[in-house]
Amino acid sequence: MPGNRKSAGNQQRNNRSSAENRGAKAVKNSGIHRSPKQKGSNRNNLKQKGLNRKDLKQKHFKQEWKPGNMVYPVPAVLVTVRDRAGNDNIITVAWTGTVCTNPPMAYISVRPERYSYHMIKETGEFVINLTTRELAFAADYCGVKSGREIDKFQELHLTRQAASKVLAPLIGESPVNIECKVTECLELGSHHMFLAEVKAVHISESYLDAKGAFHLEKAEPIVYSHGEYFGLSQALGTFGYSIRKK
């Protein structure tokens, strides 16, 4: 369950609990790193803001917190699973990511007490469905309701689509569906990490341009940070822009 933002004090007391479902107040960051050219204008910027060099140093003061999960923002994906008897379920997962380009590999970390856990264990399969502004409600709902009590597909009127390499269904409304087969389960502690090979990827045609390029940004992807869901506002550059000749 995603919690509200917590004070620094609360964070220090509670940081042993799971960060994927308890918010923690972010340490305010001081700004964007500038390119070498832009750095020259720092003094003028400071003057304009009525700051001196000492103020600038104070801006970078940090608090040291106990070890905890602080890599944010993260994706909040909808993971679809199917058990041996053919029952489907959806679980929201924030502890997920890419771990290898070739072979393409991804992971999800799931607590053994989740209803979905035994389903993944049984079949060794799951699908990662990326989330969008339109799917934000579903992402939250599937992260607070259990498949033990309800059929999340039915409750949310989501479209079940057949996958090609695994038995778990795809979510039709998701712009990207990633079919995965588990290669290893690492029992890390609170969470068990399912390392998996990507077996197939489905891309929604609505976001392909005339040249066949995929524009995920048009699907309005969302991220999860310290207990809140956010949209992405604007592109800041393209890959390699920092070294590209103008």
Q: By CB under 6 A, name the binding residues for ligand FMN.
A: 2, 20-21, 76, 89, 91-95, 109-111, 114-116, 140, 143-148, 191, 224
Query: Shortest approach of ligand FMN to residue 42 CB, angstroms?
Result: 38
Taking the complex as a whole, the smallest distance from the CB of residue 66 to ligand FMN amounts, in Å, to 20
Closer to ligand FMN by CB, 138 or 166: give it.
138
Residue closer to ligand FMN, measured from CB, 112 or 203: 112
Beta strand spans in the chain (E): 77-82, 88-93, 96-100, 105-110, 125-129, 160-161, 170-171, 176-187, 192-203, 222-225, 228-231
- Nearest-approach distance from CB 180 to ligand FMN, in angstroms: 15
- In terms of CB distance, is 140 or 197 closer to ligand FMN? 140
**Residues 18/112, Cβ–Cβ less than 8 Å:** no
> Cβ closer to ligand FMN: 12 or 225?
225
The stretches of 25-110 forming alpha helices (DSSP H) are 36-39, 42-48, 53-59
Which is closer to ligand FMN, CB of 52 or CB of 173? 173
C-beta of 204: minimal distance to ligand FMN in Å? Answer: 22
Separation between Cα atoms, residue 176 and residue 182, nearest integer Å: 19
Helix (H, G, I), strand (E, B) or coil at 161: strand
Give the CB-side neighbour count of residue 89, counting CA atoms within 13 A. Answer: 26
Residue closest to ligand FMN, measured at CB: 143
